[in-house]
Amino acid sequence: MLMTTDPGDLVLDPTCGSGTTAYVAEKWGRRWITCDTSRVAVTLTKQRLMTASFDYFALRYPHEGLKGGFIYKTVPHVTLKSIANNPEIDAIYERLHPNIETALAALNMAFKAAPPSKSFTVLGGARKGQTLPLGKKGAALLEWEVPFDYPDHWPANRQNPDALTGPVADAFKGFHAARQKMQAEMDRSIAAQADNETLYDQPEKTKNKLRITGPFTVEAVPFPTVLSLEEHSAHVPPALEANLADMSVARSGNTSRQQTWRDELLKTGVRGVKRPGEPVQMLKFAELEVLPGTTCLHASGHLDTGERVVISFGPEYGALEQRQVEHAQREAGELFPLPKMIVFCAFAFDPEAAKDIDAIKGITALKAQMNTDLLTEDLKKAKSKATTNQSFWLMGQPEVHLTPLADGLWQVEVNGFDYFDTAKGELVSGGKGKIAAWSLDTDYDGRSLFPHQFFFPMAGKDEGWMKLKKDIRAELDEDLLQYFVGTVSLPFEAGANNMVAVKIVDDRGIESLKVMRLVAPVAAA
């Protein structure tokens, strides 16, 4: 990443896996696009990025943003060529080496006044291994033979080991001081003459700032579908031309696995809510057959109670979208006899699609969550008999109460999910205990959800907002955070769109969206 890209460049990873490429690109200030055929990989990547924190790097040109690059650490790039061609080396040697020679002569003279207790063994050079009786005539140290550490048998005042004194010790220190001075001058000259090398893995950090993952979206793009010649006839009715592209996209939901899903649905049914002291509620099918001539309705059959049901399966990879809901509802209205129920089965539901399913009138419309084990044949075959009824389960509609307050303010309370009771054939209220998180958009525009308030009802003392505070090392008002752990919102004013949207995530990770219009109560006469 560092060798091939610059800050602000776009990086594409077509197989994201656990999201390492996106994580590294985010860390080093690169833009990124990543994708995968596995919903597990995409979910893992999303969670990894949303919980990560990074160092904030200083920008070289802040007004240009990332394209201006970072301020990097630089070091001299010293080579043998740069040392050999340095014109200052000889001048430094001629100027400072006489001081070294003088200091060496003083050291040898000090040995004559205070000879060591035993001979010195030379450690390097041409006389390596020889012993010298320092202090005697003809036994003098050469420049490269002087040791770096003061030997124990050399004479000195050793009352303070960190500050040895005496004629020999003082001369020894003077020699090394002269040698180090010349070496420092040469190092400075070499560094000054050498080219600088930029360390691209060591940008300068801003210590008073912390960075988290920038805004990103998770998209699910259906696979393109190639129509046959029979389907794409030259005599397409004009009324269908406008919808031909949407029909092609919606048809991409069909996969070779739908036969397996239909068989599994017929075998296991759809699991409903389990209440204390009562058996598990189930939707059981007497038969299910392929439904010909439709685009978004994939099967038709009857419950064991006799009602006719049609099934619409979502795409193999990605969320069930609004277009499929619209097509399926229209096709169900054209069937004869009319079905009593339409069940949308998907691994994930787009929140807008879930909202449209909940709003369908005239026919019972249900959302059934599909177990991801259905994507892996080995896992499905390995399931025990005790879990064979876990392949499909019903999703509830959020139960939200909207209350007008004084001064034109509003308040929202989330009471849980409405689950479809298969025994009663109606929706019944769920509780608040299974709501993991919920968010509130106080000015919903009908298309995009922008949370203005976010709550973690199931969070413990050190979870939810407190965990986020710890992860990003941010200064958050703990007195204010206590209001964002329940199921009641803070009072808010109505926005320009006069609508609110509540998105709820339960403890299984299932998302549901509830949209409500703000209608002021009529005052009594």
Kindly tell me the number of DSSP H helices and DSSP E strands found in the chain.
13, 24
Task: In whole angstroms, give the CA distance from residue 419 to residue 474.
Answer: 39
Confidence of residue 275 (pLDDT cuts 50, 70, 90): low
d(CA 316, CA 256): 9
pLDDT tens-place string over residues 393-404: 887 767 888 999
What is the percentage of the chain residues whose pLDDT exceeds 70?
Answer: 79
Instruction: Label residue 253 exposed, middle or buried (CB < 10 Å: 0-12, 13-18, 19+).
Output: buried
Per the CB < 8 A criterion, the answer to whether 304 and 284 are in contact is: yes
**pLDDT over threshold 60, residue 379:** no
Run of H or E including 432:
none
480-518 confidence digits (pLDDT tens): 766 677 888 989 999 898 989 888 887 666 677 788 888
Structural domains present in the chain: 10-78+198-212 (no CATH), 80-193 (no CATH), 233-388 (3.40.1350.10), 396-525 (2.60.40)
Q: Is the Cα torsion angle 236, 242, 248, 253 positive or negative in sign?
A: negative
* Residue type (1 letter), 320: L
Q: Give the span between the Cα atoms of 131 and 110, in whole angstroms.
A: 18
- Identify which of 237, 240, 258, 256 has the alpha carbon closest to the alpha carbon of residue 248: 240
Which pLDDT band holds residue 251 (cuts at 50, 70, 90)? very low
Q: What is the number of other CB atoms lying within 10 angstroms of the CB of residue 31?
A: 16
- How many whole angstroms separate alpha carbon 37 and alpha carbon 16? 9
Q: With H, G, I as helix, E, B as strand and everything else as coil, classify residue 464.
A: coil
pTM value > 0.75: no
Tokens of 193: 């003459």
d(CA 108, CA 98): 16
How far is residue 135's CA from residue 386's CA, in Å, rounded to a whole number? Answer: 95
What are the tens digits of pLDDT across the range 15-44?
988 899 999 999 999 999 999 887 778 888
Residue 256 and residue 53: Cα distance in Å, rounded?
Answer: 41
Beta bridge partners of 163: none
- The DSSP-derived string for 50-115 is HT-EEEEEPBSSGGGGGGG-B-EEEEEE--HHHHHT-THHHHHHHHHHHHHHHHHHHHHHHHHHS-
